[in-house]
Amino acid sequence: EVRRAGRVVPVTRTEFRLLCELAEHVGRVLSRRQLLQRVWGYDTGDERLVDVHVGRLRQKIEDDPANPRHLVTLRGLGYKLQR
């Protein structure tokens, strides 16, 4: 279950797994390839799949998805979850 400001936020199973993976490594950058392997189980594939799901997740958990404070992109490196 995901909550934001005390309210339950509906997320898909994949979004939940993605958020859990980032939360397990809070503050640490995970590459798109690492996330693709850990969340989807793919060794290769279109890393844009990760970008699409991160974007959807931001729409649900960020106050301002265009300027995220929690689910952050590190250009050329990947994503990290910040407290």
Q: What pLDDT, in 10s, does the model give residues 10-24? A: 999 999 999 999 999
CB atoms within 10 A of CB 22: 26
Amino acid (one-letter) located at 17: R
Q: Is residue 64 part of a domain?
A: yes
Does the global pTM surpass 0.85? Answer: yes
Q: Is residue 51 part of a domain?
A: yes
Q: Is residue 5 part of a domain?
A: no
Q: Is residue 6 part of a domain?
A: no
**CA–CA separation, 74 vs 32, rounded Å?**
11
**What is the CATH classification number for the domain harbouring 63?**
1.10.10.10
- Triad 18, 46, 50: Cα angle to 5°: 20
Domain count, the chain: 1
Instruction: Provide the pLDDT for residue 44.
Output: 74
Question: What's the domain range around 17?
Answer: 13-81
Q: Is residue 31 part of a domain?
A: yes
